[in-house]
């Protein structure tokens, strides 16, 4: 009897999920159905059913492993390139013309020359391979490391690109600012309206960022942790404080002025933002820590506002 009851609950939840998708004119694709099913199960107080039938984190874990694999491949390729460079330097350093005729036999000289020529050929082949691999990795990076929902760059790529940029700022301040944007009351909105509406708000926020900022200001999803999925990041490179602040304000005001309609109800969305500069010697962790502390301050002082880091 209990088994029959559990099966009936699952079917009822499934019907409610499909009805919710139809009401919002959302296609019943697996990710959307999964979110609608989880919403319906949560409203019934049936978390056990939700966990039994859904595994929402599997796809994000696969993406995370793919990103890690790419970064490992990039590191390995750099090591390969450095090794070839060192080999080429040693090849150039070996100059047979400096050897006196009586110091080396003609046969031995021919063997050395043959060896050097072989090393040179292999070095040229390696350089060609490195160029081809760099091109292939570039294509993978462009096509694979984009968040499937928002089409923004992923957190792993933010980390990797910051590490590269910050190498030139070890001894001086760079004209670089980081802005973090957090959707106000996102947890409450998600609790009240469910996953589908929360996802639409994430997509709306991402489009607002992309549509407001210049193309040279890169925009990223900031958190891999689903509990903090409502945070976005913009990197303003070659920008001063005033320019970064104006751009951040344009995003904040655009989101504030927009209204989302769900089931004939208007949902107001706002963001709190933090703006933090680069400091000489920053690495990827220190610059992000500074931005996160500034964002915490912004969130603690109210909503729909911008806080700029001050020394």
Residue-wise pLDDT for 194-223, tens only, equals 888 888 899 999 999 999 998 888 999 998
Higher-pLDDT residue of 25, 238:
238
Read off φ and ψ for residue 280, nearest 5 degrees. -50, 135
Stretch among 14-28, 65-79, 134-148 having the lowest mean pLDDT: 65-79
Q: What is the pLDDT of residue 311?
A: 74
What is the pLDDT at residue 49?
47
Per-residue model confidence (pLDDT) at position 3: 42
pTM of the model: 0.61
The structure tokens listed for 122 are 């292999």
Q: What is the pLDDT of residue 103?
A: 52
What pLDDT is recorded for position 10? Answer: 72
In the predicted model, what is the mean pLDDT of residues 288-298?
Answer: 93
């Amino acid at each position: 009897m209990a088994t029959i009851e559990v099966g009936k609950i699952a079917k009822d939840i499934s019907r409610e999920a499909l009805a919710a998708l139809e009401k919002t004119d959302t296609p019943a694709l697996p990710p959307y159905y999964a979110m609608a099913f989880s919403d319906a199960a949560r409203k019934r107080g049936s978390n056990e059913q939700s966990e039994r039938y859904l595994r929402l984190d599997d796809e994000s874990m696969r993406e995370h492993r793919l990103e890690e694999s790419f970064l490992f491949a990039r590191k390995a390729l750099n090591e390969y390139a450095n090794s070839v460079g060192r080999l080429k330097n040693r090849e150039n350093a070996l100059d047979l013309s400096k050897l006196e005729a009586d110091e080396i036999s003609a046969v031995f000289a021919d063997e050395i020359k043959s060896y050097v020529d072989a090393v040179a050929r292999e070095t040229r082949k390696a350089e060609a391979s490195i160029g081809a691999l760099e091109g292939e990795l570039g294509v993978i990076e462009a096509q694979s490391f984009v968040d499937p929902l928002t089409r923004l760059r992923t957190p792993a790529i933010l980390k990797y690109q910051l590490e590269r940029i910050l190498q030139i700022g070890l001894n001086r301040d760079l004209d670089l600012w980081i802005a973090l944007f957090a959707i106000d009351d996102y947890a409450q909105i998600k609790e009240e309206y469910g996953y589908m509406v929360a996802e639409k708000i994430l997509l709306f926020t991402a489009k607002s960022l992309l549509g407001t900022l210049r193309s040279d200001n890169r925009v990223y999803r900031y958190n891999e942790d689903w509990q903090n999925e409502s945070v976005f990041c913009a990197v303003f490179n070659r920008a001063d404080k005033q320019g970064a602040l104006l751009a951040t304000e344009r995003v904040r005001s655009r989101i504030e002025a927009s209204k989302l309609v769900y089931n004939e109800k208007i949902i107001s969305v706002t963001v709190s933002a933090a703006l933090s500069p680069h400091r000489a010697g920053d690495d990827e962790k220190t610059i992000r820590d500074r931005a996160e502390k500034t964002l915490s301050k912004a969130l603690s002082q109210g909503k729909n506002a911008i806080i700029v880091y001050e020394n």
